[in-house]
Structure 1
C-alpha cells in the first residue's frame, strides 16, 4: 500500500463520491424517478454519473495502492452457511428477470440496463465495502466496520430525494439499502472477494429496474427484499466472529505483535 489506511481517508472518499454522483446527476437534468423508464434517461441519469464515479474511484484506489485490501479478504469467514442469504437474493433477482417483459426493451435500453448494473456494482461496492471498509479496519473492530459501512451505504441513498424521489420512499430505500449492504458484506466475507458482491449487486439492480419497467408477474423484489435484508442482519454475526482483517502495519496489529 502506498498510503496506509486511515479512517478520515475513507470518509473523504465516501463524501467525495456522494458529491460527484449528486452533481453529475443534477447536471444531467434527469429526475431520479425517470431512471429506468427509457434508454435515454437511464444513460443520462444513472450510467453517466456512475461512469464518472468509476473512473475517479479507480484512480483513487491506484494512487492509494489499496486494490488488494479493497477487493480481497486475507482470511475468509470460518462460517460459510450464511451465504444462503445472498443466495436467496440471487434467486429473487433471477425470478425478477423471468417476470420481465423483455419485448418492451429496445437494444439501447437493454445496453443501458447492463451498463447500469456493471457500473453500480463496481462503484458502490468498491466505495463502500472496498475503500471505506479498508479505511475503517485501520481503527475499528469488525462489528463496527460492518455496521458503519452498511449504515453509510444506506445513508448515501438520501441524495435520491434531492434528485426528485419522494422523501418517504427514499427513507424506506435507505433502510432497505443498509440491510442489503449487509448481504453484500456477507458475500465478501464468505467468498473472500468483493468481486462476487459487485456481481450480485449489479444483477440485483438490473432485475429491479427491469421488472419495475415491464412487469409480468408479482413484485418479488419489493416483497422479499426486506425479508432478505432482515435475514442478513440476523446471520451477519457468524461471518464477523473471529475476524481479524486490520491492515498489515496498522497500530492495532503492531501492538498485538509486541512481546
Structure 2
C-alpha cells in the first residue's frame, strides 16, 4: 500500500450497513418533520409556486439534509472515498448523464419559469442543486462507501443503493398516497443512472450536479395548474436509458467481485 494512503486508512471509521439504514431513517425523519415548522401549510410535494415556498420549504429541507451528510462524512472521515471515485467505468457510460442533461435542456419549462421571474428561477435552481448535494451525498456517497466497505460487489452496491434510494421516497405515500408508487420505482431507476454518473466521471460532485439539474427541470414542468408537455421528455429519457441499462448490464458489471474501498496492494 502506498505510504500516502496509510494515514487515511488508519483514521477512517467504519459504518455498518445497519448503521447506514438507521442514518437513512433519521435523515428522512428530519427532512420530513423540520420543514413542517417553516414551509407554508398548503405547499404540495415538489410543487413550488412562490419564492416563499422555495425558501421556506425546499431550502430548509435541503439545508437539513446537507448538514446531516456533512456531519456524518466528517465524523467518519470519509471525505475522499465519498467524493472521489477511484474505480471508473469506460467512457461510453457517459451516455447516461449526457442523455439526462439533454432531457433537462429540452424538457425544462422555460416559459413557466420566465412567468415567475429571474429571482424565483435562481432560487429554485439553487434549491434543486442542493437536493442533488443532499441526496447524492447520502446515497451515492455514504451509501456506496458503506456497501463497499462491507465487501459487496460493484453490482450489489449499485443495486442496493438504488433500491434504498427508491424506498426512501416511499415516505411520500403519507403525503401523496398511492400515487407516489410510480415515483418510488422511477426514483430507484434514476438512482442507478446517478450511480453510473459517479462511476464514469470519477466524482460525486458531477452526480450531484446532474441530479440537481434533473430535479430542476422536473419541478419546472409542475409549475402551474397542469403538467408541462416537456415532462414527457423526462419520461422518455428514463425509458430509453432503462432499456440501455438492461442491455449493457453485463458490460458494466462483467464479474461479481468484491468492491472494497481500497485496491489490494500487489
How far residue 198 of structure 1 moved from its aligned partner, in angstroms, is: 0.5
The within-5 A match list for 1:211-222 is 211-213=221-223, 217-222=229-234
- Aligned mates of 2:211, 2:82 — CA distance in 1: 16
Residue 152 in structure 1 maps to residue 152 in structure 2:
no
Q: Is 1:121–1:199's contact at 8 Å kept on the other side of the alignment?
A: yes
Q: Is 1:25–1:49's contact at 8 Å kept on the other side of the alignment?
A: yes
Q: Is 2:109–2:220's contact at 8 Å kept on the other side of the alignment?
A: no
**Using a 3 Å threshold, how does the CA distance of structure 1 residues 171 and 216 change in structure 2: closer, same or farther?**
closer
Query: In the alignment, what sits opposite 1:174?
Result: 184
**Which stretch shows the higher mean deviation, 187-196 or 30-39?**
30-39
Residue 105 in structure 1 maps to residue 105 in structure 2:
no
TM-score (norm 2): 0.83
Pick one of 128, 134, 138 that aligns with 1:127: 138
- Aligned mates of 2:154, 2:105 — CA distance in 1: 31
Q: Is 1:35–1:46's contact at 8 Å kept on the other side of the alignment?
A: no
How far residue 168 of structure 1 moved from its aligned partner, in angstroms, is: 2.9
**Using a 3 Å threshold, how does the CA distance of structure 1 residues 38 and 236 change in structure 2: closer, same or farther?**
farther
Pick one of 175, 188, 200 that aligns with 1:190: 200
Q: Secondary structure at the match of 1:32?
A: coil
The within-5 A match list for 1:72-111 is 72-77=84-89, 79-97=90-108, 99-111=110-122
- Aligned mates of 2:48, 2:223 — CA distance in 1: 7
**Using a 3 Å threshold, how does the CA distance of structure 1 residues 34 and 75 change in structure 2: closer, same or farther?**
closer
Paired residues, what number? 249
Query: In the alignment, what sits opposite 2:80?
Result: 68
Give unpaired runs (5+ residues) of structure 2.
Answer: 1-10
Give unpaired runs (5+ residues) of structure 1.
Answer: none
- Aligned mates of 1:173, 1:232 — CA distance in 2: 20
Query: In the alignment, what sits opposite 1:20?
Result: 30
How far residue 98 of structure 1 moved from its aligned partner, in angstroms, is: 6.1
Q: Is 1:36–1:42's contact at 8 Å kept on the other side of the alignment?
A: yes
How far residue 17 of structure 1 moved from its aligned partner, in angstroms, is: 1.1
**Which stretch shows the higher mean deviation, 55-64 or 123-132?**
55-64
